[in-house]
Amino acid sequence: MSEQMEYLFFDKELAQRFSDFCSTHSIQAEMEVEETPSGENSYCVKFADDLNDETLDQIEDTYNDMFFGEQAAQIEGNDSSGALADACGVQVMLQSGEYTTVAIHPEIMNKILSVLTVDELQKFLSQVAEDIENPKSGPICRREDLPVL
């Protein structure tokens, strides 16, 4: 049995557009509506994780554009003081293959995303996870396996 990919939205129209995008790539996606702790609806688009790397990259790029672009603009546009979200996060895969979500305050996330792409942020957090799971000693200048872009 294959794993499920899950993509979260807080706007039904964006979730439907993402689901439609998946359909254009012959991916059978289903959308589930869930209630958030604040009583709002969230929309989770799910499909089987049996995609080739190229298709997965297209899906990830589209999700990032929609979630961190269009949806973030909707949230920030609701109030002149900025984002109304209480929290946001980035998923990072651990060495075990499990995913964890790193919680980041929305104001800090906005600052980070003003200088880094989502992909760069995920690579950074993955490197942090790698170094925590596999501690390294000694000065950085003497390491042979420094991260690359």
Q: Where do the structural domains in the chain lie, given as residue ranges? A: 1-83, 87-136+145-149
Question: Residue 72: what pLDDT?
Answer: 61
H helices present in the chain, as ranges: 12-24, 53-65, 72-76, 106-113, 118-133
Closest CA to 62 of 99, 29, 14, 97: 14
H helices present in 66-117, as ranges: 72-76, 106-113
Taking the domain 1-83, which CATH number applies?
3.30.70.120
Question: Residue 19: what pLDDT?
Answer: 93
Its pTM stands at: 0.51
Residues 6+ apart with CB under 8 A from 19: 29, 30, 31, 45
Q: Using CA atoms, how far apart are residues 88 and 67, in angstroms rounded to an integer?
A: 11
User: Going residue by residue through the chain (149 aa), what tens digit of pLDDT does each one get?
Assistant: 457 888 888 888 889 999 999 999 888 999 999 887 667 788 889 988 788 888 888 888 888 778 766 666 655 444 444 445 566 777 788 888 887 888 887 778 878 877 887 778 888 888 888 889 988 888 888 888 788 77
Question: Residue 87: what pLDDT?
Answer: 64
